[in-house]
Amino acid sequence: MITSLSEQKCFDLLRTTTVGRFGFVRDARVQIIPVNYFLDDRDIVVRTAPDSVLSMLPASELEVAFEVDHHDDLAGTGWSVLLNGTVSAMPVDELDAVPASGRVHPWAGGDRDLPLRLHVHAVSGRSVQRPRR
Protein backbone atom coordinates (compact mmCIF):
# COMPACT_ATOMS: atom_id res chain seq x y z
CA MET A 1 0.00 0.00 0.00
CA ILE A 2 1.32 3.46 -0.94
CA THR A 3 0.53 6.44 1.29
CA SER A 4 1.22 10.12 0.71
CA LEU A 5 3.15 11.74 3.54
CA SER A 6 2.32 15.06 5.16
CA GLU A 7 4.86 17.85 4.85
CA GLN A 8 5.63 17.55 8.57
CA LYS A 9 6.22 13.80 8.27
CA CYS A 10 8.56 14.42 5.32
CA PHE A 11 10.71 16.77 7.39
CA ASP A 12 10.63 14.37 10.34
CA LEU A 13 11.99 11.62 8.08
CA LEU A 14 14.65 13.91 6.60
CA ARG A 15 16.00 14.38 10.13
CA THR A 16 16.60 10.62 10.50
CA THR A 17 19.42 10.36 7.95
CA THR A 18 22.23 12.38 6.37
CA VAL A 19 22.55 11.15 2.77
CA GLY A 20 20.46 12.44 -0.13
CA ARG A 21 20.73 13.13 -3.85
CA PHE A 22 20.61 16.34 -5.85
CA GLY A 23 18.97 16.03 -9.27
CA PHE A 24 19.38 18.66 -11.98
CA VAL A 25 19.95 19.07 -15.70
CA ARG A 26 23.44 19.94 -16.95
CA ASP A 27 24.54 19.89 -20.58
CA ALA A 28 21.11 18.50 -21.57
CA ARG A 29 21.55 15.47 -19.28
CA VAL A 30 20.03 14.61 -15.94
CA GLN A 31 22.64 14.53 -13.19
CA ILE A 32 22.09 12.76 -9.87
CA ILE A 33 24.74 13.55 -7.26
CA PRO A 34 24.78 11.96 -3.77
CA VAL A 35 25.67 14.23 -0.85
CA ASN A 36 25.76 14.37 2.92
CA TYR A 37 23.30 16.95 4.20
CA PHE A 38 21.68 18.39 7.27
CA LEU A 39 18.51 20.37 7.83
CA ASP A 40 18.46 23.99 8.90
CA ASP A 41 14.79 24.54 9.66
CA ARG A 42 13.24 23.73 6.23
CA ASP A 43 16.40 24.16 4.14
CA ILE A 44 18.91 21.51 3.11
CA VAL A 45 22.55 22.43 3.71
CA VAL A 46 25.51 20.66 2.08
CA ARG A 47 29.23 21.26 1.76
CA THR A 48 30.89 20.78 -1.60
CA ALA A 49 34.19 21.48 -3.29
CA PRO A 50 34.53 24.88 -4.97
CA ASP A 51 35.27 23.18 -8.31
CA SER A 52 32.58 20.46 -8.07
CA VAL A 53 29.61 20.05 -10.39
CA LEU A 54 27.39 21.22 -7.51
CA SER A 55 29.28 24.50 -7.19
CA MET A 56 27.56 25.80 -10.33
CA LEU A 57 24.04 25.37 -8.90
CA PRO A 58 23.83 28.82 -7.25
CA ALA A 59 24.44 30.49 -10.62
CA SER A 60 21.53 28.58 -12.19
CA GLU A 61 18.05 30.02 -11.98
CA LEU A 62 16.52 26.59 -12.49
CA GLU A 63 14.97 24.63 -9.68
CA VAL A 64 16.69 21.45 -8.60
CA ALA A 65 15.36 18.29 -6.97
CA PHE A 66 16.62 16.73 -3.77
CA GLU A 67 15.60 13.18 -2.88
CA VAL A 68 16.07 11.04 0.20
CA ASP A 69 14.75 7.54 0.68
CA HIS A 70 14.96 4.51 2.93
CA HIS A 71 13.79 0.93 2.66
CA ASP A 72 13.69 -2.11 4.93
CA ASP A 73 13.61 -5.31 2.88
CA LEU A 74 12.75 -7.55 5.82
CA ALA A 75 9.83 -5.42 6.98
CA GLY A 76 8.69 -4.64 3.45
CA THR A 77 8.54 -0.92 4.14
CA GLY A 78 10.06 2.16 2.58
CA TRP A 79 9.70 5.88 2.14
CA SER A 80 10.83 8.59 -0.21
CA VAL A 81 10.86 12.38 0.18
CA LEU A 82 11.27 14.72 -2.78
CA LEU A 83 12.08 18.42 -2.41
CA ASN A 84 12.25 21.07 -5.11
CA GLY A 85 13.86 24.46 -4.80
CA THR A 86 16.71 26.78 -5.64
CA VAL A 87 20.29 26.72 -4.40
CA SER A 88 22.37 29.58 -3.04
CA ALA A 89 25.90 29.77 -1.68
CA MET A 90 26.13 30.34 2.08
CA PRO A 91 28.65 32.58 3.77
CA VAL A 92 30.87 30.50 6.08
CA ASP A 93 29.82 32.53 9.14
CA GLU A 94 26.18 31.66 8.36
CA LEU A 95 27.14 27.97 8.19
CA ASP A 96 28.98 28.20 11.50
CA ALA A 97 25.82 29.61 13.13
CA VAL A 98 23.78 26.50 12.21
CA PRO A 99 23.82 24.09 15.19
CA ALA A 100 23.89 20.90 13.06
CA SER A 101 26.80 22.04 10.89
CA GLY A 102 29.44 20.43 13.10
CA ARG A 103 27.70 17.05 13.24
CA VAL A 104 27.49 16.15 9.54
CA HIS A 105 30.71 15.79 7.59
CA PRO A 106 31.05 15.01 3.87
CA TRP A 107 32.09 11.39 3.39
CA ALA A 108 34.00 12.30 0.24
CA GLY A 109 36.62 14.19 2.24
CA GLY A 110 38.92 16.70 0.63
CA ASP A 111 38.28 20.42 0.33
CA ARG A 112 34.52 20.76 0.87
CA ASP A 113 34.46 24.33 2.06
CA LEU A 114 31.71 25.69 -0.20
CA PRO A 115 28.45 25.54 1.77
CA LEU A 116 25.25 25.48 -0.27
CA ARG A 117 21.65 25.98 0.88
CA LEU A 118 18.65 24.48 -0.89
CA HIS A 119 15.70 26.80 -0.35
CA VAL A 120 12.78 24.37 -0.42
CA HIS A 121 9.75 25.47 -2.46
CA ALA A 122 7.87 22.16 -2.70
CA VAL A 123 7.74 18.99 -0.60
CA SER A 124 6.22 15.60 -1.33
CA GLY A 125 6.66 12.15 0.09
CA ARG A 126 5.36 8.63 -0.05
CA SER A 127 5.62 5.56 2.10
CA VAL A 128 5.05 2.01 1.00
CA GLN A 129 4.13 -1.10 2.98
CA ARG A 130 4.23 -4.54 1.39
CA PRO A 131 0.94 -6.40 1.90
CA ARG A 132 1.13 -9.02 4.64
CA ARG A 133 0.43 -12.54 3.51
pLDDT in tens, 48-65: 999 999 999 999 888 999
Please say if the pLDDT value at position 123 is more than 70.
yes
Domain annotation for the chain: domains and CATH numbers: 2-129 (2.30.110.10)
Please say if the pLDDT value at position 98 is more than 90.
no
H and E: helices and strands count for the chain? 2, 8
Reported pTM: 0.91
pLDDT band at 103 (very low <50, low <70, confident <90, very high): low
